[in-house]
Amino acid sequence: MTVEQGPNGARIARETAPPQGGRRWIGKRLNRVEDPRFLRGQGRYIDDIKLPGMAHAAVLGSPHAHARIVSIDTRAAERLPGVIAVVTGEDVAARAAPLPSFGAGEIVQDMIATEKVRYHGETVAAVIAEDRYVAEDACELIDVVYEPLPVVLDPFTAREDGAPLVHEALGSNTAYERTFTFGAVDDAFAAAPRSVRARLRWPRSTGMPMDTNGAIGDYDAGTGVVTIHANSMNFTYFLWLLAATLKIPASKLRLVPVGAGGSFGSKFFMHKVPALAGLLSMIAGRPVKYVEDRTAHILSNDHAGSDRHYDAALAFDDDGTFRALRIDCVDDYGAYLQFGTGTHGNALSQVVGPYRIQHVEYSLAAVLTNKNQQGAYRGFGAEVSNWVLERLVDLAARELDVDRVEIRRRNLIGADEFPYRTPTGNIYDSGNYQGVLEQVLEAVDYPHWVAERDRARAEGRHVGIGVVASNERSVFSSTEFWFWFDEPDFTPTSSPESASLQIDPTGRIVVTLHSQAQWGNSPETVVSQVVAEEFDVEPDSVLVTYADSQHALPGTGPGGSRFTVMVAGAVAGASSTLKQKIRRIAADKLEANEDDLEFRNGAVGVIGTPDAELSLADVAMTAYMFRLDLPPDMESGLSAQSTYDHPLTTLPSGDRSDLGIFYPFVGHAWHIAVVEVDPETGKVDFLRYAAVHDAGTVVNPQSLDGQIIGGTVQGLGTALYEQYLYDDQGRVRNASFEHYHLPSSMDVPRITVGHQETPSPYTAYGIKGAGEGGRMLTPAILSAAIEDALQPYGVTITTLPITAEQIVAWTTA
Amino acid sequence: MKPAPFEYHAPSSVAEAVALLGRGDGAQVLAGGQSLVPLMKARTVRPAALVDVNGVAGLDAIEERDGALQIGALVRLQALVDHPGAARSHPLLREAVRHAGHLATRHRGTVGGSLAYAAPWAELTAAAVALDATVELRSPSGPRSVPARSFFRGPHQTALQPGELVTGLSVPAQPPGAGAAFHEVSARYRDYAHVAAAATVAVDPAGACRAAELVLLRVAPAPHRVDVSGLVGTRLDDAALGALDAALAGLDPPGDVEVSGAHRRRVAPVLARRALRDAFARAGEHREAA
């Protein structure tokens, strides 16, 4: 790997050319190494962990969306046998600081509400007890007197004068408002002969992992160290903020990572549960476990998804050439703004999609209401943006009466235009968009389905086809979290990832990672395959472990489809150091030139001389036990570590007319869906579904297939099923899986997955991230396919989810 | 999400179970637990005591007698779906109950539990009403039988008296050559029915409708039996089915968190027609096969 100076001071780490003869392990379809233990019930999730003397916590959530807390009487709860302590917001305020926030203005969020509650389910008290049953019994005995306040649930109403204020100190419910202009948007709209405009509505939903958030706090009064076992938390990126919340030195907060049964972004900054478990342990003086139940998770874990209202327009020529894009978004962020408006920063990384659009205007009002705050969910706002763009493109095709594939093809960025600078300043590193399109059309035999649709339509059946594209930005830079603000308080530019490699005295390789343990993604599979590639060992001989935070190197963890790219870079760096040491030892012992050595089948040997080789075990034993056989300047042992920084980040300009390079490794995908709609019942059946993605170099096609299918299914949930439903007092009406509908396996089509590989020129091995792409396409493709199926009814789909009830309402109108 | 404290009893006989239920301490019956246990965990339901009837002997058989069925209360829903005799004599039972939740749910859920809980989406309740079945009950004062057509009073409301235990369902013999069909719409595969229609149609040797039954779910507080006597003598053509519209016009289904009453009103006639047509077609197939 080489590092060079790029534009605006960017440090660009470039992958050196792939080895002669290709790669042996990267790119191989292998079973995930994580699967056996999780599938056999040996995964040790957070709720499986039991510490000696451990107590259990339950929390009491507010039944009101907006109310003043007049009084809390905890006496009856405290008297219940088995109760250790009842903790209220006052107790928390006395011992801890508010939760971390990256948002704007005077928006303070506490672990447990004080003075007033701002959303249904906000925690008002916690009980520590000998077991969870007693803790929940005691919650019922806490007497909270509320004075209900008028609720504000609609972001437009929230912006009106006189609306009830969610945060009085802020003086307004509009937490943030700004228009970004890139290019000559007004001129382009004026000059373009045609345009389409739509009001679009994206509903609030969430990532909804099977494993809810959970943590065990374990306070050691002797050392003052608070140990927290938790199923998420990015160590060096976020953990120091949590130490500030707990008012302890960061050195005394030790996080032990525990694998999670899913996150999908929703555990990206899992702040409330670990903070609470840590604090409760400090109060109880013994280990305390708190694991959200499903209702608490639905109500009070951050509502991970976006909740947006759009007024959007696309200007284009008579021949379908796109000219300019105008987006005006009101985003209902709920009661707090912990992440600021990063979800729109994300959208701006690829706001023009795969198309040559030169001029973009993007307006945002971030509004506070009496709902839970947003968080992060697969796509982090870019999936919404892509739905909006693809809807506009379909409308443009209809306006011009041209084929929906054709209009897209006409505007695709060409394979010879990379790296491509988009109007916002972010670049697309590489791509071959036409190649992916041709592959997906071939995968489904597109002309066949067009004929089938037309034949079915002639018979009175309602078959529809959707064809949509998306880019998939990957590997965020931290600038995305603050370039929104003119004068941000804190302007980080790092988002590193680290890996430590150790070869034990018997020659086995152990890799230590430095972020939270796995979330259901495949960090261990990926790392094993990269290590196997570097050392030519069997991937399943590699052990992957996770450091606790006191031993952690810089790490940022999964999020923004960054982990595979970044951890591969770190493993490559550490491998390079370690291989150099091995070469020196081996060259000495084999009396060979270092440059003539290669790694082969678990050994290091002289190229072209099969007999002249040493196994890694021989080298390792020498490194650990035979000091006098080592070169004199060499230390004993065989380990190395590396921290891989974002390979290509530049700063935004002061006036934000150029946001800089902040999300440059950009994959690409096309999906095609064929559906049949029953216009009398609203049922949607899938006749065909195909997805082709280009994520650069593929480490493991099987685990990548899983990411694509999983993302596609979550997008299907957003498109057809999921949304938070509220009553007029802001109470969530579907706070359980009974009525919060996730698609089941029986609701999911068979998905044909294909891959194209256009390596990134900037990342280790040319890998691009690919954890979110599926969800970036399904909402758009189902909108397009169902709209096409309902063509006889002249329907335009502008709101999700597309429910059966909505379909029947259209067809019977 | 843990239940409030409760006492637990595990009787081994009907008499013992009924005696426990008759103590008047608010005890509830635990059978398959597919509805009760989640409700208890949410503390929506908090019985002082549970009478677990899973160990009660003699309630888990399906007996066939002269075309009639006697189904024990502890028969699992999937056992009913899989029972070849029941599928032959009363195909509606299989058609309806296979929609009840997922396979795992049906392997736990019981006939007695489904009848006693009387969820407005419970497919078995529609079939029981359509087939004119009788719910068998037992209390300390003895057995009692209540026709399904008067047993279901509303959502989760039945003729069951405090202390009474559902012991079974008896289903009378059906007219020879009857066909059955069940159509349902739900938010997802095997989710709660938003609307459902259960139909049976028997045909005469000439192939015309001789008798028909239609029961709709979720258009009224309880399983709703629609008067389809007007179909007798017809071949369920469009004109005959069109007459149904009048019978369904007065429906005023309730809305809930998932769908509106208006949606139910739009979809119910669609499912009614489809169920009747399919039942008629199947009756015709039986006739030809015979």
Q: Where are the alpha helices (DSSP H) in B90-233?
A: 91-97, 103-108, 111-117, 123-130, 148-151
The beta strands (E) that lie in A678-733 are given as 684-694
Contacts of A38 (CB under 8 A, 6+ apart): A259, A261
Q: What is the 3-state secondary structure (H, E, C) of A108-135?
A: CCCCCCCCEECCCCCEEEEEEECCHHHH
- The rounded distance, in Å, linking the Cα atoms of A171 and A189 is 36
Length reported for chain A: 813
Rounded to a whole number of angstroms, the distance from the CA of A58 to the nearest CA of chain B is 9
User: pLDDT tier at A363 (50, 70, 90 boundaries)?
Assistant: very high
For residue A593, give the 3-state DSSP assignment.
coil
Distances in Å between the Cα of A208 and the Cα atoms of A384, A387, A735 are 18, 21, 12
A179 pLDDT above the threshold of 70: yes
Best CA proximity match to A142, nearest among A91, A55, A66, A71: A71
Radius of gyration of chain B (CA): 19
The three-point CA angle A584-A588-A592 to 5° equals: 95
Cβ of A743 within 8 Å of Cβ of B188? The answer is yes
Task: Please report whether residue A205 resides in a domain.
Answer: no
The answer on A35 and A107 residing in a single domain is: no
Facing A744 at nearest CB: one of B3, B188, B270: B188
Does A400 share its domain with A501? Answer: no
* A66 and A38 share one domain: no
Q: Using the beta-carbon criterion (under 8 Å), do A743 and B258 form an inter-chain contact?
A: no
Q: Do A741 and B259 touch (CB under 8 A)?
A: no
The predicted complex's ipTM stands at 0.96
| b (16+ CB within 10 A) / e for A177-211 | eeebbbbebeebbeebeebbebebebbbbbbbbeb
Assess whether pLDDT exceeds 60 at residue A16.
no
Q: How many domains, chain A?
A: 3
- Whether residue A464 is contained in a domain is answered as yes
Q: How far apart are CA A439 and CA B261, in angstroms?
A: 46
| CB proximity list for A626: less than 8 A, separation 6 or greater | none
Q: Is A473 helix (H, G, I), strand (E, B) or coil?
A: strand
Residue A159 located in a structural domain: no
Q: Where are the beta strands (DSSP E) in A601-746?
A: 603-606, 613-615, 639-644, 665-677, 684-694
Q: 3-class SS at B63?
A: strand
| Same domain (yes/no): A637, A690 | no
Q: Would A200 be classed as within a structural domain?
A: no
Q: Do A469 and A591 fall into the same domain?
A: no
| Residues A327, A180 contacting (CB under 8 angstroms) | no
Q: Measured between CB atoms, does B189 come within 8 Å of chain A?
A: yes
How much is the average pLDDT of A684-690?
Answer: 98
Of the listed ranges A101-110, A163-172, A301-310, A628-637, the least confidently predicted one is A101-110
Query: Same domain for A563 and A710?
Result: no
- Residue A502 phi/psi, 5-degree rounding, is -135, 135
CB atoms B2 and A133 under 8 Å: yes
Chain B residues inside the 8 Å CB shell of A725: 257
Do A349 and A463 belong together in one domain?
yes
Burial class (CB in 10 A: 0-12, 13-18, 19+), B212: buried
For residue A130, tell me if it sits in a domain.
Answer: yes
Q: Which residue has the higher pLDDT, A236 or A495?
A: A495
Spatial distance between the Cα atoms of B87 and A760, rounded to a whole number of angstroms: 61
Token pair for A790: 């309902």
Chain B residue closest in CA terms to A743: B188
Per residue in A67-94, pLDDT (tens digit) is 999 999 999 999 999 999 999 999 999 9
Contact between A48 and A134 under an 8 Å Cβ cutoff? The reply is no
Average pLDDT over residues A583-603: 97
* Cβ(B205)–Cβ(B190) below 8 Å: no
What distance in Å separates the CA atoms of residue B61 and residue B112, rounded to the nearest whole number? 12
B44 touching A (Cβ < 8 Å): no
A270 and A312 both lie in a single domain: no
pLDDT given at position B169:
98
Shortest Cα distance from B271 to chain A (angstroms)? 8
State the pairing for strand pair B142-147/B152-154.
unpaired
Rg (CA), chain A: 27
CA distance A102 to A741: 31
Torsion sign, CA atoms A389, A392, A396, A402? positive
Residue of A716, A726, A736, A738 to mutate for B, most B C-beta atoms under 10 A:
A738
The residue to which tokens 């905890």 are assigned? A74
Residues A514 and A538 both lie in one domain: yes
Chain position carrying tokens 């040997």: A605
- Could B257 and A725 be called an inter-chain contact, meaning their C-beta atoms sit closer than 8 Å? yes
At A21 the pLDDT is 61
Contact B185 A804 (CB under 8 A): yes
What's the mean per-residue pLDDT of chain A? 95
- Record the tokens describing residue A479, joined without a space: 């600038």
d(CA A622, CA A620): 5
Domain stop point among A291, A324, A347 = A291
Domain of A723 in residue numbering reads as 308-480+651-811
Q: Name every chain B residue with its beta carbon within 8 A of the beta carbon of A132.
A: 2
Tokens at residue A383, please? 């999936």
Residues A545 and A663 in one domain: no
One domain for residues A571 and A447: no
Contacts of A294 in chain B (CB under 8 A): 1
Instruction: Answer whether residue A288 shows pLDDT above 90.
Output: yes
Mean pLDDT value across residues A408-417: 98
Which domain CATH number covers A425? Answer: 3.30.365.10
Question: Is A568 within the bounds of a domain?
Answer: yes
Chain A residues within 8 A of B266 when measuring between CB atoms:
808-809, 812
What are the pLDDT digits (tens) for A18-50? 565 689 999 999 999 999 999 999 999 999 999
What is each CA distance from B60 to A198, B10, B70, in whole angstroms? 59, 16, 10
The 3 state secondary structure assigned to A510-534 is: EEEECCCCCCCCCHHHHHHHHHHHH
Which residue's structure tokens are 């007319």?
A657
Residue where a domain terminates, one of A291, A321, A346: A291
Residue A252 φ then ψ, to 5° = -100, 10
Phi-psi region of A41 (alpha: psi -120 to 50; beta: other; left: phi over 0): left
Q: Which of B4, B189, B263 faces A805 most closely, judged by CB atoms? A: B263
Assign residue A276 the CATH number of its domain: 3.90.1170.50
Q: Which domain-ending residue is among A627, A644, A661?
A: A644
Q: Which domains does chain B have, with CATH numbers?
A: 7-55 (3.30.43.10), 62-171 (3.30.465.10), 179-289 (3.30.390.50)
Which segments of chain B have a pLDDT < 70?
288-290
Q: Which residues contact A189 (CB under 8 A, 6 or more apart)?
A: A195, A313, A315, A323, A324, A326
Q: Is the dihedral of CA B31, B34, B37, B42 positive or negative?
A: negative
Mean pLDDT, rounded, for A709-736: 98
- Whether A506 and A599 share a structural domain: yes
Q: How many CB atoms lie within 10 A of CB B5?
A: 10
Compute the distance between CA of residue B15 and CA of residue B10 in angstroms, rounded to an integer: 12
Both structure tokens of A303: 């509502």
For residue B187, list chain A residues with Cβ-Cβ distance below 8 A: 721, 741, 803-804
Question: Which of B34, B184, B188 is the best substitution to test chain A (most A C-beta atoms within 10 A)?
Answer: B188
Yes or no: say if A534 and A582 are a contact pair by the CB < 8 Å rule.
Answer: no
Pairing of strands A684-694, A665-677: antiparallel
Cis upstream peptide for B3 (omega within 30°): no
Question: What does each C-alpha distance from A430 to A359, A422, A663, A758, B174 come to in angstroms?
Answer: 21, 13, 12, 7, 70
Percent above pLDDT 90 for chain A: 92
The verdict on residue A487 lying in a domain is no
CA distance A249 to A242: 10
CB-CB contact of A782 with A803 (8 Å): no
Is A727 within a domain? Answer: yes
**For residue B195, what is the nearest residue in chain A, using CA coordinates?**
A681
Helix (H) or strand (E) holding A464: strand A463-474
* pLDDT tens profile A484-534: 888 888 899 999 999 999 999 999 999 999 988 889 899 999 999 999 999
